Structure formats: structure tokens, C-alpha cells
A and B are shown apart, each in its own frame.
Chain A
Amino acid sequence: QKEVEQNSGPLSVPEGAIASLNCTYSDRGSQSFFWYRQYSGKSPELIMFIYSNGDKEDGRFTAQLNKASQYVSLLIRDSQPSDSATYLCAVKVGGYQKVTFGTGTKLQVIP
């Protein structure tokens, strides 16, 4: 079982819709969760981080964490064509510095 799993996609949504990206993880000791956005040929940039159960909102982005079910999700409201990118989920186990990434989900926002 992979430590961090994501559906590779592509996930296609129309402009203005809500995009829902999901990530599951295997280590119950995981405490920090990150969503990165990566445009083709570029390095990842942080979108959101979350470490408490529940929702965390920042502008059009909402991260959701459910530790009991071991999943974390990212919702993008009012999706724009500029949101088209690969979204990487990353997990860090508390007390350790190893950050493990999922393979990413490619999002396509159709104008």
C-alpha cells in the first residue's frame, strides 16, 4: 500500500464549478497535511496546510481532514482555467521531517 494515494486523473470540471480532490494516507501517526499546486515544468507551490480535523478555508480553497478515515481533501470553488494544474498531497509524520508526496491529481478546468 502506498503511503499517500491520489487519483491521477485527469479531473475535468467546467469553469465556475467546484473541483474536489482527494487523498488518502496509510500512517495513522501522520499529523501535518499539505496541498501543493504544480504547473507543468514548474516546482510545487503550497496552497493549503491543515493539521486539525475539520475544514480550513482560504479564499476559494477549502481543505478537509478526517483522521479517523485517513483522508484529506481539497475543494476549489468557482474553478478558473488558471487552476488547471497538478495538485499534490503531502503528509508529514509528527516529530519526523520526512515529507511524503502522493503522485498528484491533474485538474483541467474547461472554459
Chain B
Amino acid sequence: DGGITQSPKYLFRKEGQNVTLSCEQNLNHDAMYWYRQDPGQGLRLIYYSQIVNDFQKGDIAEGYSVSREKKESFPLTVTSAQKNPTAFYLCASSISLGAGILLNTEAFFGQGTRLTVV
């Protein structure tokens, strides 16, 4: 079955430690995204990638890093520079298309990783 897989589901991090969240998709989508969601809040964009070996900062990129070495994979590293990393992290992907073509492309989401700093 096609879909997006995030792992782990729950992650605990010690202060000052870097952690990497995994996101893999087999939908053959070009575009991938990382969002952060805090309790009672909407989704805030951390990073997104439109194509392999390219990615762009979103609205809250500080303290995070990503890589896109393969089309299927878009891991997110939460570094020690991120001062308040406890949140629900969501990875998504969508078809990447040229301007004006098939604008109704939805983003498919993984099941999320809940990160807690202990």
C-alpha cells in the first residue's frame, strides 16, 4: 500500500541532544514537507522540499535541519539549538506539478511523531 511512514511514533530527547525524525514515502511524490503542531495550534511549516537535493526554509526553520538525498526520504533533525522542541511533528508529501496544472493536489500526511524533551 502506498503511503507515508513516520518513525518513531513517540520520541524522548534529553536536553542538549540532537534527534532525527524519519519520514519515508512510496507515493512517488516530488514535494515533501515537515510541519510542527503545538497543543491547540495549527500546523507551522518547518521545511519543505520540491525536488531531490533541494529544500527551502519554512516559517520556523531555526533549530532544525533536513536533507533530501533520495526522493522517498526527508528526515528532520531537531538540534540542541531548538529551545522548545516538545511538539507533534507531521511529515507530508504531494505531487509537484508545473504552474497552472492540476492545482487540486492534496498533501498526504504521515501519522506523526510526538517528541518530548525530558
Q: Which residues of A contact B (CB under 8 A)?
A: 6, 8, 31-32, 34, 41-46, 49-51, 88, 90, 92, 94-95, 97-104
The 18 sampled A-B contact pairs (Cβ below 8 Å) are A6-B42, A32-B103, A32-B104, A32-B105, A43-B90, A43-B109, A44-B90, A49-B106, A88-B43, A90-B107, A92-B103, A94-B99, A95-B99, A98-B56, A98-B58, A99-B94, A100-B45, A102-B42
How would residues 56 to 99 of chain B score, 1 for a CB under 8 Å from any chain A CB and 0 otherwise?
A: 10100000000000000000000000000000101010101011
Q: A46-B106, A88-B42, A101-B35 given as contacts; is B100 within 8 A of A95 (CB)?
A: yes
B112 proximity list for chain A (CB < 8 A): 42-43
Query: How many Å lie between the Cα of A99 and that of B93 in the bound state?
Result: 10
The answer to whether B42 touches A99 (Cβ under 8 A) is no
Query: How many Å lie between the Cα of A99 and that of B59 in the bound state?
Result: 11
B33 proximity list for chain A (CB < 8 A): 99
Query: How many Å lie between the Cα of A104 and that of B44 in the bound state?
Result: 11
Instruction: Using A88-B43, A95-B98 as known contacts, list a sample of 11 further A-B pairs with CB atoms less than 8 Å apart, ordered by residue number in A.
Output: A43-B109, A43-B112, A46-B107, A49-B106, A50-B104, A97-B48, A99-B33, A99-B45, A100-B45, A101-B42, A102-B42
In the complex, residue of chain A having the shortest beta-carbon distance to the beta carbon of B100:
A94
Interface size of B in residues (CB-CB distance below 8 Å): 30
Measured CB to CB, the closest approach of chain A to B39, in angstroms, equals: 10
User: Could you count the A-B residue pairs with CB atoms below 8 Å apart for me: how many are there?
Assistant: 63
Query: How many Å lie between the Cα of A42 and that of B109 in the bound state?
Result: 10
In the complex, residue of chain B having the shortest beta-carbon distance to the beta carbon of A47:
B106
Measured CB to CB, the closest approach of chain A to B14, in angstroms, equals: 24
B100 proximity list for chain A (CB < 8 A): 94-95
Query: How many Å lie between the Cα of A27 and that of B94 in the bound state?
Result: 21
The answer to whether B45 touches A98 (Cβ under 8 A) is yes
In the complex, residue of chain A having the shortest beta-carbon distance to the beta carbon of B111:
A43
B25 at the interface (CB under 8 A from A): no
The answer to whether B110 touches A43 (Cβ under 8 A) is yes
In the complex, residue of chain B having the shortest beta-carbon distance to the beta carbon of A6:
B42
Query: How many Å lie between the Cα of A90 and that of B108 in the bound state?
Result: 13
The answer to whether B43 touches A97 (Cβ under 8 A) is no
